[in-house]
């Protein structure tokens, strides 16, 4: 009986604790614990490396493990919202320290960081930043160059200049030049995480640590020196409570700051450009529901104007110095016809069905889907307003460059935008009063056109029939360094193929063409002898040989791999005809 009474008392006490007006919600408590758990994951990614190379950093990690266990316990037993809020602040501080500890052992950059570093060096030396190629910085570990469908390689800087200016400033302040891009990207992003934590409501603040640092997917790009990470950090205050921008009929200090930061983000990386129309349209519709049309348009126009002014000010030096080179460079990621890469629907043609004769239509589908989503957003703003920071990236699922970074790097913005708005926030927004069919006509046409273009891209077969007839091996052993192949143009156009090999999810450098015509007429069959420009490839059944063309954009492929070969077999294959 006493045991029953004890159990009942415990239940009553727990219920009373949860019912206390000052008690934290279960969701807040769980989110705080999840933030702590995510930091364990982040620590595990560099603990071993720190132990091998930087012992004092490993000691920081060791202390971090113990601290996180303690923080987990305290989060579980916190009795008040204020107490749990203080604990969340402690978790943020520990997360920043551990992120810096991770940076000590993992801060080597990829191609984007290498380009930013080189551009900052050239800027400080008084040289040009745009319209210049730096092939010497590529080819190292994790520093690969972007290839185009026309057989070229992008060796220059093709982003707006703010990240270069920040890296140059860091170098001038004493940061080692080789680390300037990674230091500035990491520092600015951590400031962005802190800003997200401050701007989010208290019960949601642990999500800033969870997404920004704990999961490590965005922080990893910061350690690599990606300009897009700086843009994301600048956009955090922009998307926080963005729906209230200009609510008083004036932008005010907060609105002006948000507009200037939006312009700075657009002057850092092109991904911010795609978010801008959704924000401007959303602000206009919010204000149209509250004030006269002229005043609402004025607010939205001033917001856009200030953003453009910040963008122009940051770009002014480069635009005046090399206008043509600057303009071509910042548009290059949108116009250069890069080879496909990513995790979107392009994979169906690229990996699974042997190619497509209408790769251009993936790009058309992307543009139409983006326009269709923007139109649908405007028509259904009261319903879709909360998704303003997520919708722009949906279109990239159809892009030829549908890389997961387009989604993962933007996830802090998803959290901040969702955490500072609610569906009820958009109930008073303006809404078109046209008949239902008229309102949905434009979105329907655009989305149907996007689906049609996607269908064309997926249904059009690869233009080349390809067959490897002989493999050529390097003299020193069993490494493949060339092939002889037969190519037939099954399309109705004359095409100029370029050839490359793939072992996984990327293309090698383009192979040298030692024999075979540069252009292949419709129905024509020819034999090509191709040689690797940079050494041989070990035996692998996963090798795929690709033939790509630029006008029109097409992909064709055929397996080129084989199993493990003995030196004798390699020698026999090397003596094969061709």
Q: What is the 3-state secondary structure (H, E, C) of 116-142?
A: HHHHHHHHHCCCCCCCCCCHHHCCCCC
Is cis: bond before 552, omega within 30 of 0? Answer: yes
Does residue 379 surpass a pLDDT of 60? yes
Contact assessment for residue 347 and residue 404, using Cβ atoms and an 8 Å cutoff: no
Between residues 293 and 105, which one has the greater pLDDT?
A: 293
Which of 395, 354, 332 is closest to 490 using CA atoms?
354
pLDDT score recorded for residue 574: 34
Whole-angstrom distance, CA of residue 364 vs CA of residue 450: 7
| Average pLDDT for 509-525 | 93
Fold of 464-574: Immunoglobulin-like (2.60.40)
Show the tokens assigned to 417: 């935008």
| Average pLDDT for 477-490 | 88
pLDDT score recorded for residue 481: 85
Does residue 386 surpass a pLDDT of 90? yes
pLDDT score recorded for residue 255: 95
List pLDDT tens digits, range 116-139. Answer: 999 999 999 999 999 999 988 887
Does residue 576 surpass a pLDDT of 60? no
* Residues listed for the chain: 578
State the pLDDT confidence band at 578, using cuts at 50, 70 and 90.
Answer: very low
pLDDT score recorded for residue 139: 72
pLDDT score recorded for residue 442: 93
Q: What is residue 530's three-state secondary structure?
A: strand
Identify the weakest region by mean pLDDT among 316-330, 385-399, 433-447. 433-447
Task: Tell me the average pLDDT of the chain.
Answer: 88
Show the tokens assigned to 523: 């129905």
List pLDDT tens digits, range 47-92. Answer: 777 777 777 777 888 898 999 999 999 999 999 999 999 999 999 9
Place of tokens 């992120």: 99
pLDDT score recorded for residue 18: 53
Q: What are phi and psi of 531, to 5 degrees?
A: -130, 140
pLDDT score recorded for residue 477: 64
Show the tokens assigned to 386: 């909360």
Between residues 507 and 393, which one has the greater pLDDT?
A: 393
Strands 480-489 and 525-531: antiparallel
Between residues 550 and 55, which one has the greater pLDDT?
A: 550
Show the tokens assigned to 178: 């080789």
pLDDT score recorded for residue 403: 87
pLDDT score recorded for residue 333: 87
Q: What is residue 65's three-state secondary structure?
A: helix
| Average pLDDT for 202-228 | 93
Does residue 94 surpass a pLDDT of 60? yes
- Predicted model pTM: 0.89
């Amino acid at each position: 009986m006493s045991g029953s009474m004890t159990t009942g008392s415990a239940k009553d006490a727990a219920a009373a604790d949860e019912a206390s007006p000052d008690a934290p919600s279960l969701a807040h408590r769980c989110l705080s614990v999840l933030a702590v758990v995510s930091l364990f994951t982040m620590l595990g990614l560099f603990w071993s490396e720190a132990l091998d190379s930087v012992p004092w950093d490993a000691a920081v990690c060791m202390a971090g493990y113990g601290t996180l266990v303690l923080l987990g316990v305290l989060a579980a037993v916190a009795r008040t919202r204020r107490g749990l809020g203080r604990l969340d602040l402690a978790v943020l501080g520990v997360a920043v320290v551990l992120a810096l500890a991770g940076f000590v052992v993992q801060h080597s950059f990829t191609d984007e960081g290498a380009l930013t570093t080189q551009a900052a060096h050239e800027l400080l030396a008084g040289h040009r930043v745009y319209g210049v190629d730096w092939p010497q910085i590529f080819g190292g570990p994790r520093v690969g160059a972007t290839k185009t469908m026309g057989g070229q390689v992008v060796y220059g800087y093709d982003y707006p200049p703010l990240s270069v200016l920040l890296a140059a400033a860091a170098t001038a302040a004493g940061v080692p030049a080789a680390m300037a891009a990674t230091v500035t990207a990491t520092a600015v992003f951590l400031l962005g995480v802190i800003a997200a934590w401050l701007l989010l409501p208290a019960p949601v603040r642990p999500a800033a640590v969870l997404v920004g640092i704990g999961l490590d997917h965005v922080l990893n790009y910061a350690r690599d020196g990606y300009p897009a990470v700086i843009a994301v950090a600048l956009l955090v205050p922009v998307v926080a409570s963005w729906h209230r921008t200009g609510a008083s009929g004036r932008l005010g200090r907060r609105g002006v700051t948000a507009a200037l930061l939006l312009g700075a983000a657009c002057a850092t990386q092109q991904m911010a450009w795609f978010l801008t129309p959704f924000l401007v349209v959303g602000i206009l519709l919010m204000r149209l529901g509250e004030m006269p049309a002229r005043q609402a348009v004025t607010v939205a126009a001033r917001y856009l104007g200030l953003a453009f002014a910040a963008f122009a000010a940051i770009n002014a030096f480069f635009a005046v110095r090399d206008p043509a080179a600057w303009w071509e460079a910042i548009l290059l990621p949108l116009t250069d016809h890069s080879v496909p890469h990513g995790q979107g629907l392009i994979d169906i043609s690229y990996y699974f069905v042997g190619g497509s004769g209408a790769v251009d239509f993936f790009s058309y589908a992307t543009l139409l889907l983006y326009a269709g989503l923007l139109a649908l957003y405007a028509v259904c703003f009261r319903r879709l307003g909360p998704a303003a920071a997520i919708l722009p990236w949906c279109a990239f699922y159809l892009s030829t460059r549908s890389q997961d970074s387009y989604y993962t790097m933007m996830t802090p913005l998803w959290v901040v935008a969702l955490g500072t708005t609610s569906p009820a926030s958009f109930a008073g927004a303006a809404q078109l009063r046209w008949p239902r069919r008229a309102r949905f006509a434009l979105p329907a046409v655009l989305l149907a056109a996007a689906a049609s273009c996607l269908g064309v891209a997926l249904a059009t077969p690869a233009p080349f029939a390809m067959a490897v007839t002989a493999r050529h091996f390097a003299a020193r052993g069993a490494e493949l360094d060339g092939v002889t192949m037969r190519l037939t143009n099954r399309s109705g156009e004359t095409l100029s193929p370029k050839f490359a090999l793939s072992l996984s999810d990327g293309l090698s450098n383009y192979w040298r063409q030692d024999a075979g015509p540069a252009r292949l007429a419709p129905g024509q069959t020819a034999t090509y002898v191709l040689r690797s420009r940079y050494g041989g490839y070990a035996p692998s059944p996963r090798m795929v040989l690709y033939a790509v063309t630029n006008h029109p954009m097409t992909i064709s492929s055929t397996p080129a791999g084989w199993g493990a070969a003995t030196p004798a077999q390699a020698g026999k294959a090397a003596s094969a005809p061709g």
